[in-house]
């Protein structure tokens, strides 16, 4: 039975090798493929950037502070991994359609989410930002908090401490988290079939 799975895995590679570069170039030159690739690159990049902008502060909060409701926030961060991505698409459509949620306000402002790059970016950000948050949270948690306390005892603000003490030590994790989120966003299809 395992041999059938290996055959299934190797068959597309064998066809690609047989068809060669010419067939691949022909497939890549189809206009719909080019547009799909462009939309994928744009939405995945937006998702990766958004996951860093919003995910790094959240990761810092979760790794450095204990507060009431932290467990709920932790669960919400992990939720996108558990929700089927077709359902994510439905949730984005419901949350931002013109007749419910934020939709009426956005519609009045001339902002459409459904069937747009914005909607696609929201959907793939929803399913991918968790990875940046968790990778960065782990990196921050592994740092000795005494380094930050020392910097703050010498007069540095929390923001300055983050920029000068924490960020230099976690930047690789931020890049890794962003790349993981980008890859996850690029591979998403379920939510996009519903939203875009």
CATH of the domain at 106: 1.10.3720.10
**pLDDT for the residue numbered 21:** 64
Name the burial class of residue 99, with classes exposed (0-12), middle (13-18) and buried (19+) by CB atoms within 10 angstroms of its CB: exposed
What confidence tier does 191 reach under pLDDT thresholds 50, 70, 90?
low
Would residue 155 count as lying in a domain?
Answer: yes
Other CB atoms within 10 A of residue 168 CB: 9
pLDDT value for 125: 93
pLDDT score at 193: 54
Stretch 78-104: mean pLDDT = 85
Q: Quick check: is 6 in a domain?
A: no
Name the helix (H) or strand (E) containing 158: helix 158-161
> Residue 141 belongs to what domain range?
31-195
**Where residue 9 falls among pLDDT bands split at 50, 70, 90?**
confident
Q: CA-to-CA distance for 161 and 95, rounded, in angstroms?
A: 37
Other C-beta atoms closer than 10 Å to the C-beta of 88 total 23
Residue 4 lies in a domain: no
Q: Is the pLDDT of residue 12 over 60?
A: yes
Count of domains observed in the chain: 1
Query: Is residue 35 situated within a structural domain?
Result: yes
Quick check: is 59 in a domain?
yes
Compute CA 26 distance to the chain's CA centroid, rounded to the nearest angstrom.
31
Q: Identify whether 99 is part of a domain.
A: yes
In a domain, 164, yes or no: yes
pLDDT-derived band of residue 14, with 50, 70 and 90 as boundaries? confident
Confidence of residue 113 (pLDDT cuts 50, 70, 90): confident
Lowest mean pLDDT among 4-8, 72-76, 175-179: 4-8
User: What's the whole-number average pLDDT of the chain?
Assistant: 87
Residue 5 pLDDT level (bands cut at 50, 70, 90): confident
| Distance separating alpha carbons of residues 121 and 116, to the nearest angstrom | 9
Q: What is the pLDDT at residue 108? A: 86
Q: Whole-angstrom Cα distance, residue 196 to residue 194? A: 6
In a domain? residue 22: no
């Amino acid at each position: 039975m395992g041999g059938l799975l290996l055959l299934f895995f190797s068959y597309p590679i064998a066809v690609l090798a047989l068809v060669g570069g010419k067939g691949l170039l022909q497939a890549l030159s189809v206009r719909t493929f080019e547009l799909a690739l462009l939309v994928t690159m744009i939405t995945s990049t937006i998702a990766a950037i958004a996951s860093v902008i919003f995910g790094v502060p959240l990761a810092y909060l979760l790794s450095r502070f204990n507060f009431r409701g932290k467990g709920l926030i932790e669960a919400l961060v992990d939720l996108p991994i558990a929700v089927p991505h077709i359902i994510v698409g439905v949730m984005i459509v419901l949350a931002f359609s013109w007749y419910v949620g934020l939709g009426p306000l956005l519609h009045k402002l001339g902002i459409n989410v459904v069937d747009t790059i914005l909607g696609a970016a929201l959907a793939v950000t929803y399913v991918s930002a968790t990875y940046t948050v968790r990778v960065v949270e782990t990196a921050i948690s592994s740092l000795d908090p005494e380094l930050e306390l020392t910097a703050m005892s010498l007069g540095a603000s929390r923001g300055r401490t983050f920029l000068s003490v924490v960020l230099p030590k976690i930047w690789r994790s931020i890049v890794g988290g962003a790349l993981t989120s980008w890859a996850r966003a690029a591979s998403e299809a379920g939510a996009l079939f519903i939203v875009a």
